[in-house]
Homo-oligomer: A and B are copies of this chain.
Amino acid sequence: MKKNIDSNIKTIVSALKTLREQKPLVVNISNYVAMNNTANALLALGASPIMAHSRDEMAEMLSFSGALVVNIGTLDSLWIPRMLFAVEQANIHKKTVVLDPVGCGASSLRTATSWQIAEAANKLIIRGNASEIIALAGEKGQSKGVDSLDSSEAALGAARYLRDTYQCAVVISGATDFIVTAGGQIQLNNGHAMMPYVTAMGCTLSALTGAFAAVGEETGLAAAAVLGVAGEIAAEQSKGPGSLQLNLLDALYQLDEATLIQRLKLS
C-alpha cells in the first residue's frame, strides 16, 4: 500500500515537471462561464490553452495539440456537433479526450450528449462530480441542478461501470476525489470546503486533466492532486471565494515539488 502511494506521488511529481518543460497545447471546447478560468489555470500551471470550436479549424488545431477537453456546461444544438466533430479529429490524431459532463442528469440533453461523446472518443478520461458520474452510468442520483448532492463514495460503482464500459479512466471530484482506472482506485483527500463556492472549479480540473494527458499522464491523478493542493493552499489565504479564485491561479503558478509532496493526501 505504502509502496503504491510512493509510486503515485512519483507519478504526480514527474508529470508536473514534464508539463512545465513541454508546455503542452490543449484544445478546449468549453462553456461560456468557464472559458476564462480554464485558460488562466492552464497558463498558470505552465500549459498553453487553445480555446477553439469551429469545425473549419479543428482538424488543424488537433494536429499539433496534445489533448482535447470537451465541456458541455452551456451546450446547445450548435455546439453539440462541434463537440462531436472535435472528438472525431482527436481520434484521427490519436489524442486523448477529456469529457466534462457538466450537469449530466440535470437534463436529458446533457445526459444524452455525454453518452454520445463518451461513446465516440477512442482515448477517454471522464471527470465529473458524483451526481454527474452516477447519471452518466445511467443510475438515479441526487443532483440539484449542476451541483452534486451525492458523496464521491456513492459514485464509485458508477465510475467502475463507466471505466469498464468505455475502457477509460474516471475521476470523481468532490470533498474526496477518486481516480478509477484499470489498475484500481486512488483516493485523494486534498482540497478545501470553500472550493465549491467558486464557479468552474470542476471545469478547471478537467482542463488540467487534459494538460497532463497531453504529456502522457492519462489517469487524471496528477491534475486532481495539483488542483487539490493548490486549492487548499489558496483557500487557507482567502477570506472568501473571490480571493480564492485568484489565489488559486497564484498557487498553481508557484506550486513546487516539495510543497506538493508534503501536502498530498493519497490513499
Which residues of A does B touch, CB under 8 Å?
Answer: 23, 25, 31-37, 39-40, 43-44, 48-54, 56-57, 60-61, 64-65, 73-78, 82, 103, 106-110, 144-147, 196-200, 238-243, 245-254
- Provide the residues of chain B in CB contact with A249, threshold 8 Å: 240-243, 245
| Other-chain residue from B32, B60, B196 in contact with A35 (beta carbon distance below 8 A) | B32
Question: Quick check: A75 and B50 within 8 Å, CB to CB?
Answer: no
CB-contact partner of A39 in B33, B39, B43, B82, under 8 A: B33
A60: B residues at CB distance < 8 A: 106-109
Given contacts A33-B36, A75-B54, A106-B50, contact A254 B241 (CB under 8 A): no
Instruction: Check if B36 sits within 8 Å of A199, measured CB to CB.
Output: yes
Contacts of A108 in B (CB 8 A): 57, 60
Given contacts A43-B198, A43-B241, contact A103 B73 (CB under 8 A): no
Interface contact B57-A109, CB-CB below 8 Å: yes
> Are A44 and B251 closer than 8 Å at their CB atoms?
no
How many copies of this kind of chain does the complex include? 3
- Select from chain B the residue with minimum beta-carbon distance to A56: B109
A250 touching B246 in the complex, CB below 8 Å, given contacts A53-B74, A76-B54, A106-B50: no
Chain B residues, Cβ within 8 Å of A33 = 35-36, 39, 51
A52: B residues at CB distance < 8 A: 74, 103, 107
The chain B residue with its CB closest to the CB of A61 is B107
Task: For residue A19, give the distance in angstroms from its CB to the closest CB of chain B.
Answer: 14
Is the CB–CB distance between A77 and B56 below 8 Å? yes
The 8 closest A-B pairs by CB, nearest first: A242-B249, A240-B250, A242-B246, A57-B107, A240-B253, A54-B76, A39-B199, A57-B109
In the assembled complex, which residues on chain B have CB atoms less than 8 Å from the CB atom of A243? 246-247, 249-250
CA distance A238 to B242 in the complex (A): 13
| A25-B242 CB under 8 A given contacts A32-B51, A36-B37, A108-B57 | no
Contact (Cβ within 8 A) B54 A109: yes
- Max chain B Cβ within 10 angstroms of own Cβ: one of A73, A75, A250, A254: A250
- In the complex, how many angstroms separate the beta carbon of A22 from the nearest chain B beta carbon? 11
Q: Is the CB of A144 within 8 A of B25?
A: yes
**Cβ contact within 8 Å between B76 and A56:** yes
